[in-house]
Structure 1
């Protein structure tokens, strides 16, 4: 599980730390300055990306995506949806 962001490393660290403080854990970041991953997930929004999350299968195909501005505030709920979708792949 990763967070994909085109934010600067300092901003990524700030969010990583906030998630860790709030939930006792966080997730590693992948830098996507050109929004290539966002485009793959159909979450590109002009020069930025929609906030949300999704899942790729082992072939690199998008299994699902969810646009949700509050995924961070709803981290536990977001994580549960990802885990549920992952378990459906089995």
Structure 2
């Protein structure tokens, strides 16, 4: 898929650095992390849960419109299913 991929987190820059480094250590590469301390993007995505974010994934189009979002605490453990869902959602969006 020809998409930009990011992790969006409320975490501090220091906490994000730890996460980035751990992902890089385990997988040999990581993703850019966007800081969203006020949960603005997270809220727009429908992923705000009080003063924290739900775990999950989603997609925005180039205009910033939400294509889909999925709340799932286990998306990483179910990575094959997660990737299939993202690919299916992307294909449905690009066919329109």
* TM-score normalised to structure 2 length: 0.78
Tell me how far apart the structure 1 counterparts of residues 80 and 26 of structure 2 sit (CA, whole Å). 11
Aligned length: 90
- Higher-Rg member (1/2): 2
CA-CA distance at 1:83 after TM superposition: 3.9
Q: 2:13 aligned with 1:9, yes or no?
A: yes
Q: 2:69 aligned with 1:69, yes or no?
A: no
Q: 2:46 aligned with 1:42, yes or no?
A: yes
CA-CA distance at 1:59 after TM superposition: 2.2
CA-CA distance at 1:4 after TM superposition: 0.4
RMSD: 1.9
Question: Any stretches of 5+ residues in structure 1 without a counterpart?
Answer: none
Q: After superposition, what is the alpha-carbon deviation per residue over 1:12-36, rounded to whole angstroms, capped at 9, x for unaligned?
A: 1111111112222211000000000
Tell me how far apart the structure 2 counterparts of residues 89 and 33 of structure 1 sit (CA, whole Å). 29
Q: After superposition, what is the alpha-carbon deviation per residue over 1:1-59, rounded to whole angstroms, capped at 9, x for unaligned?
A: 11000101111111111111222221100000000011101110111111111000122
